[in-house]
Amino acid sequence: MKRQFHRVTLSTLLLLSLVTTRVGAQDTDNDDPVVKLGHSAHGESFDEGPRQKPWKMEDIGSSHFPITTSVPEVQEWFDQGNTLLHSFWYWEAERNFRWCLKLDPDCAMAYWGLARSTGRGMNERALDFLAEAVKRKDTVSERERMYIEAWETAFAPQLSGAIELMDEERGGSEKLAQELELICLAYPDDVEAKALHMLYSLYDSSRLGNEMIAQAIFRKEPFHPGAHHYRIHNWDGPEGAEALSSCEVYGQLASYIGHANHMPGHIYSGIGMWHEGAIWMDRATRVEKRYMQEQLVFPFNHWNYAHNRNYLSYIQEQLGMLAMAQDGARQLIAAPLDPKYNPGDNGYVHGQGITALRRGLVKFERWDEILEEGSIPWREIKEDEVWRAYMESLANLYLGNERAAVDSMIALKELEKSLPDDEWAAKRFLERMLLEVRGVRALQQGDMIAGASLLETGAAEQLASFDDENDPPGYPRILSNVLGEAYLDCGAPELAAACFERTLETVINDGFALSGLVEAYAELGEQERAAEAWGRLSFVWADADPGLRWMERAAARGLVSEPIDLSPKEQRNYASQVLTAMGPQTWTPYAAPELEALDPDQNEVTLDDYFGQNVVLVFYIGEACVHCVEQLDAIDERIGDFEKRNVKVLAVSGDSPEKNKASLKMGELGFRLLSDPGFENARRWRSFDDFEEIELHSTNFIDPEGNVRWARTGGDPFLDLDFLLAEIDRVNETVPAVAAVEASAEVGEDSQAAQGGTK
């Protein structure tokens, strides 16, 4: 018998829609101002973003921004949201400002806070929020009105009719900095105006001027999180030592925020303090993994995590810890995909993992692994075509596969000719790649002059661009090191030493360059300088993976030196730090919340009933919801595809067991309908909007061990069943591998802890 659920219930709900009295909660297919079930009554801008109430956070720092409100409690939530904005935690900041509006719907400054919570620049959501603030600007103090008008002037000169949206590239930030100057002058004691002026002046004004503003803030509020954060950004780069005092304060002050741990790591790595940089970047990834576990968040919903993890892999590479770096890269590659937020072809999380993976493989010359089929999950995009041709060119050259190397080099050259202009990520390094592979081939053919010339051209361009690329650098090798090794191999140690010293001027304490200096100075008979280089290498690579050829060649010189660190402050040893209190080393899916729903016969149903099976758990908004029924009907049509993957589908709504029983009598259905009349399950599963007190659509995939592997919650039901089935297949294939990685990580952490305390 063909299932009739969709056709029968659709006619039923059309009847129901005529008599329902639920304000702002009906479905509609016309232009009437009636809100679809699960959608915000305030418009599309509120359909995105967090939908659950905030909580009082600790270890985020503090700031005070007095506002006009009729509800005293609103000030507390506004201050917390403002503090989170100072650390660029936009998602959580938005949650606080939404709660302000729940308590005080006409709070103009809460709308202003929302406008800032969509990111540093402006987009259409931000413009919608800003327009609401502008409507209410006459209800606030003169000081607050100046803030609202500053954003209005800078980013949205027209908020009616044809809107001109001015983004940062078109001068919005520069204009905003000018408007904030006026607030600073009108209210000289306003610390927030000074801090925001610093933020919007970064990179466009005098760093000394920004430093003076920071010091003025510290005299009044020595622990202002924004001032310390923006001061770190102000000095990020070769002059990072100027911000070391803020690194010490900011990371401890806001230790619960990933970005507050990330930025000290940024500074430390930029000035060659690799151990300290690894500690702080490791803290950043752990804090964010803990947050994701606690708040049921996935990596693709947490903007900074993938960047942190990629950066940590880079720092671990610089410490000679390739195994740890590659483990981190593969964690990102194995993270859940999402058709909107992390698609497999060009998703940000997935892409950061591939970047880290390929960088480590080339840097540490894992040529066999590069050529091994399946070792790199290449995507069907132009960027990966370029990187694959480059990496396979090098791998085949170094392995002596001349014909294959030439074929890959030809492919790389053809890509240079055919690559569209919008493929900027691929075009960025292509010229440098060609210089490198041609230079290496010339050297192998005995043409030292041509090879050195090609590598020198690439090295000069790379070092000149390094500061702009160092976030972290995506290009695997420092070409001045490659040239230095070539000079060593041909018996020119003086030229080699010059190459390695040039690297160290830009990439301070680079282990590959230090290793080369040991050999170059030893060959030149400069034993004291060779011993110093060996001492520095011994400090940086104190815990490097065994068997690295650079370390072995340097050690073979037999030099004696205590470890030497020339950094501007003492560093702790990364390997001896026990960081488990900050969060886990490895990302794992969060455990499924409890499910305690009722079936049509009023029997309790829990996830324990399905242990050992995959479960797709759908929260829908009852049979009165047209687009919910569309989702259920689509799943019902594909139920065989779910069943053959050992997947049980459960659909939960606020409809009573009696109503579900009546619905099932109308036709056969291939999965169970469950009742959640008090919405307690919906709340636990983040499928309830606390701000508007409405149900949300939610689709969740739970693995046989009760872990949530993927979820999507929002105003619309999830209908991309091909993706969902593919992600179930991907998880089923990778669960054993992920379990092995997790076990390896635990062993690694145990051995790390066994090495003792801090240095």
Tell me the per-residue pLDDT of 105-148, one tens digit each, with 9 for 90 and over: 999 999 999 999 998 667 889 999 999 999 999 999 999 999 99
pLDDT digits (tens, 9 = 90+) for 187-233: 999 999 999 999 999 988 899 999 999 999 999 999 999 999 999 99
Residues in contact with 757: Cβ distance below 8 Å, sequence separation at least 6, in sequence order: 576, 578
Residues in contact with 309: Cβ distance below 8 Å, sequence separation at least 6, in sequence order: 285, 328, 329, 331, 332, 352, 353, 356
pLDDT at 172: 72
pLDDT digits (tens, 9 = 90+) for 637-668: 999 999 999 999 999 999 999 999 988 876 67
700: β partners: 617, 711
Across the chain, mean pLDDT equals 90
pLDDT digits (tens, 9 = 90+) for 322-333: 999 999 999 999
Q: Quick check: 419 pLDDT over 50?
A: yes
- The span from the CA of 54 to the CA of 60, in Å, is 14
674: β partners: 652
- The span from the CA of 122 to the CA of 111, in Å, is 14
pLDDT digits (tens, 9 = 90+) for 595-634: 999 999 999 999 999 999 999 999 999 878 888 989 999 9
If phi > 0 it is left, if psi is from -120 to 50 it is alpha, else beta; for residue 686 that is left
- The span from the CA of 137 to the CA of 436, in Å, is 58
pLDDT at 87: 97
Helix, strand, or coil (residue 369): helix
Strand arrangement, sheet containing 604-605: 604-605, 597-598, 672-675, 647-653, 614-619, 697-702, 708-714
Between strands 604-605 and 694-695, the pairing is unpaired
The answer to whether residues 159 and 175 touch, using CB atoms and an 8 Å cutoff, is no
Measured in whole angstroms, how far is the alpha carbon of residue 731 from the centre of its chain? 21
Domains of the chain with bracketed CATH? 1-34+590-719 (3.40.30.10), 55-270 (1.25.40.10), 364-582 (1.25.40.10)
**Phi, then psi, of 650 in degrees rounded to 5:** -125, 135
Q: Work out the burial of residue 92: count CB atoms within 10 Å of its CB; fewer than 13 is exposed, 13-18 middle, 19 or more buried.
A: buried
- The span from the CA of 418 to the CA of 52, in Å, is 48
Packing angle, helices 258-270 and 244-253, rounded to 10? 160
The answer to whether residues 180 and 174 touch, using CB atoms and an 8 Å cutoff, is no
Residues in contact with 217: Cβ distance below 8 Å, sequence separation at least 6, in sequence order: 191, 194, 195, 224, 227
- The span from the CA of 653 to the CA of 665, in Å, is 17
Residues in contact with 688: Cβ distance below 8 Å, sequence separation at least 6, in sequence order: 51, 52, 679, 682, 694, 695, 696
The answer to whether residues 575 and 543 touch, using CB atoms and an 8 Å cutoff, is yes
- Of 102, 92, 113, nearest to 71 by C-alpha is 102
